[in-house]
Structure 1
Amino acid sequence: MNATPLRGALLAALACTLVGASFTANSVLGDYPYAGGQALRYGLAALLLLPLLHSRDGSHPALLRTLTGRQWARLATLAAIGMVGFNLAVLAAERSAEPAVPGVFVGCAPIVVGVLVPLLDGRRPSPAVLYAAGLVAAGAFTVQGWGRADLAGIVFSAGALAGEVGFAVLAVPVLRPLGPKLLSATVCAVAAVESVLLGVLLDGHGFLRMPTGQETLVLVWQAAVVTVIGFVCWYSGMRQIGAERATLFSGLIPVSAAITAPLVGTGTYGVGQGAGSLLVGVGVALGSGVLRRRPVPVPGSATREGVASRGTA
């Protein structure tokens, strides 16, 4: 077993597990203004990431001066689609569809990324990754099942899928020059600004209010743990094993949500969830490369805009 794939896999797994657990905590923020909550979460996360930027992996704020206008546009799009847009799509979908519906759509992200990233890089999709992505998607569906949904719920669920895909795909060309920490800090700052603008546009000055004690705890946990730790782990893992293999671990999001839901009385974990979790685990293990004895090359690492494996997070 090669150390680099294993380390990258563990980082991606931790990130997706944290995201899945955050879905359970989101129920506490049901009455809090959406845009205001996003602004607080990502703004606090950006501030918490600042002390981590002067490090050996090259995550130095001065690197931002070297970015082109096209790269800044990509970062803004990443924040808008993969962060603010993703969360908005999930929230909107759950207004007319059961939570399982957007979850099933998001569970298909490994298949889309497994096809899209190689094509954008001028390569053929890896059959092994696509087979593994199919297992992960089937496992995610088994964990969550399929719930009630109307046309609006399906459309917004498809938007959530686009956000999950964009969070990985749009980051590929800027991950190499910035590194996981600076990339995370930058997109969090951009997402905070975008959330403020969205809040003012939709809700005026009422987009922000003082959170309750429970809401404060959830917002701080989402910012400090899910965003700071989760984002850095995600992009560190993606840099080591590539976007295609890292996205396989998004199948752990519904698994983590299903495991943590009984802890707060919002769901149960039974035979179906156990079987789905097993499918996800098999797909992740087969597709991520952690079971291979020889090192697994990172797809696109030799290209100028590919994912680079250079050091730790």
Structure 2
Amino acid sequence: MKQLTGPICLFLAFTLAGTGVLSARYLSGKLGIFTITTVSLFFALLFLLPFCLKALPGSLSGLSKREKVQLFAQSFFGMFLFRLFLLLGLLHTSAGEAGLLTGATPAITAILAAVFLKERINRQKATGILSTVAGILLIQGLTAGADFNKAHFLGNILVLCAACCESIFNILSRSFVKKTVTADGTRLTPLVQTAVVSTITMALCLIPSALENPVARLSILTHSDWFALMWYGVFVTVLAFICWYAGIRRCSAITAAAFSGMMPFTSLLLSVLLLGEQAGFRQWSGGFLVIIGIVIIALKERL
């Protein structure tokens, strides 16, 4: 069971992250991009800090300047730029399409892991990754002569930029947790790491959000809007990142690449169930391939 802890954490992390596309789509146009991030992270920290506030000083004191820079880089790519590109992209494309385009993450992460972390891609992992990527291509309609949605070209490019940022974050996280220790000799806990990354990102967004007329916009939000903000903060940020950091400690970046296929699949599923978007046999077949790829990787982690 211990061998499955990492894969289970990664599965939960990317499933929760997939719900973030819908939350972001729901809030898109109602609030400024930086306001959405700032307020959602406020809810995240409000939930998170009571559990890790005492551990923060001791944990951070054991970090070198280089490791603190690495934490900043995780914040910049994994939250700030990822959410910036995603929210901008959602102004021009649908939630389902945006979620599916994040499916570029597995392939990008696998390539970066092989190049920068020197991780080996054995036959079973390669099969799992190929199954995941093939499923995502099938979902997106890039196979069988299906037409790509050119009307949303700008939004699609922005979402692909978000996928690249997510992949860079994956590599930075894996590199960081392999080396980082705190003052008492233990690794930085997922709770503390999530709190630090969230705080840095919120600080980056404060000034830009002040220029988006946040008070007036926030004053007219409905209860559903506030729920979406809280969900984006507590579930998509806190719980997803805690699961992510717990999983990446136990699994390689290439393994994480396969599990990141759950993000577009979850987005597709919820877009159909909650937003009324349509999906045909090709999309569900692609989703099945994504799940198969993840199962292959999970079995490899267990063996």
Normalised-by-shorter TM-score class: 0.7 to 0.9
CA RMSD of aligned residues (A): 2.6
In structure 2, the CA distance between the partners of 1:215 and 1:104, relative to structure 1 (3 Å rule), is closer
**C-alpha distance in structure 2 between counterparts of 1:26 and 1:63, whole Å:** 32
Equivalent residue of 1:268, what SS?
A: coil
Q: Give the deviation of 1:150 after TM superposition.
A: 6.1
Secondary structure at 2:250's aligned position in 1? helix
Higher relative contact order, structure no. (Cα contacts within 8 Å, ≥ 6 residues apart) = 2
CA contact (8 A) 2:33 2:88 kept: no
Contact 2:31 2:214 survives alignment (8 Å): no
- Distance, in Å, in 1 between the alignment partners of 2:214 and 2:226 is 20
Matched to 1:90, the amino acid is L
Name the CA distance, whole Å, in 1 between partners of 2:158 and 2:265: 22
Residue aligning to 2:266: 256
Q: How far does the alpha carbon of each residue in 1:196-227 deviate from its partner, in whole angstroms, 9 at most, with x for none?
A: 13324x53776973343221111111212221
Give 1:29's match in structure 2, choosing from 27, 30, 42: 27
1:71 — aligned with what? 67
Are the equivalent residues in 1 in contact too, given 2:7–2:301 (CA < 8 A)?
no
Which one of 170, 173, 179 corresponds to residue 171 of structure 1? 173
- SS in structure 2 of the partner of residue 240 of structure 1: coil
Look up the SS of the partner of 1:6 in the other structure: helix
Normalising by structure 2, what TM-score?
Answer: 0.83
1:127 shift after superposition: 4.4
Q: In structure 1, what is the Cα distance between the partners aligned to 2:108 and 2:70?
A: 19
* Alignment CA distance shift 1:203-1:139 (3 Å): same
Instruction: Give the Cα separation in 2 of the matches to 1:104 and 1:265.
Output: 15
Q: Does 1:275 align with 2:295?
A: no
Measured after TM superposition, the shift of residue 281 of structure 1 is 1.0
Q: Which residue of 2 is the match for residue 13 of structure 1? A: 11
Distance 2:75 2:67 in 1: 12
Task: Flag structure 2 segments of 5+ consecutive residues without an equivalent.
Answer: 142-147, 182-187
Call closer, same or farther: CA 1:293–1:117 in 2, change over 3 Å. closer
Structure 1, unpaired ranges of 5+? 295-313
Aligned length: 287
- Using structure 1 for the length normalisation, give the TM-score: 0.81
- Decide whether the 8 Å contact of 2:32 with 2:214 is kept in 1: no
Q: Is the 8 A contact 2:194 2:242 kept in 1?
A: yes
Aligned counterpart, 1:212 = 222
In structure 2, how many angstroms separate the alpha carbons of the residues matched to 1:28 and 1:103? 13
Cα displacement (A) at 1:8: 1.4
Question: Given that residues 100 and 136 in structure 2 are in contact (C-alpha distance below 8 angstroms), is that contact kept between their aligned partners in structure 1?
Answer: yes
Q: Give 1:105 shift.
A: 4.1
Residue 246 (structure 1) shift: 1.8
Q: Is the counterpart of residue 143 in structure 1 residue 139 in structure 2?
A: yes
Aligned residue in 2 for 1:85? 81
